[in-house]
Amino acid sequence: MPKTALQNALIREKRKNAIMETALKQFALKGIENISIDDIAQVMRISHGLFYHYFTDKEDLINGIIEKGRETFGKNVTSLIDNNVGGFEFIKGLTEFYLTNLQGSDAKAYYIYLLLTINLQKVALNDDKWDIKSYSYLLKSIEEEKNNGRFINLDA
């Protein structure tokens, strides 16, 4: 019996998510610059053609991963910023949110690790469509708490 359009769409979405989760794990563990499309295809045991059916290139894949992460985490982080929660309270709120949402999800943990270990501006290629406000807000909050003496300044 042939599959319905809905069944085909669900299969496509599941496969696309699997590619993104595999790539996310590889990027987090080995670094974005050290992983090629060939590496992702080999880990997943798929053809390059199948990869290109879902993504135009590595940058498109990275953008898809970041967008999916923003859908998952963005509203909560944005609410902290919009409510002018700063300094230690921002860091505490962000940490509590991440710890609560990481339980039972390797993909979420890899996503957060990736965000915390890469320069988002480099990944986004200075593209205005990526809002890196939360990243810069976190750095500003950390600096504020260093200046207030609540955090130890390891750079000094």
For the chain, domain boundaries: 5-147
- The third-level CATH classification (topology) of the domain covering 5-147 is Tetracycline Repressor; domain 2 (1.10.357)
Q: Is the model's pTM score more than 0.75?
A: no
- Per-residue pLDDT at 99 exceeds 90: no
The most confident of 15-19, 91-95, 129-133, by mean pLDDT? 15-19
Amino acid at 11: I
- Per-residue pLDDT at 47 exceeds 70: yes
For 62, how many CA atoms within 13 A lie in the half-sphere containing its CB? 23
Amino acid at 18: A
Which DSSP symbol is given to 3?
Answer: P
How far, CA to CA in Å, does 44 sit from each of 10, 12, 38, 84? 19, 15, 10, 43
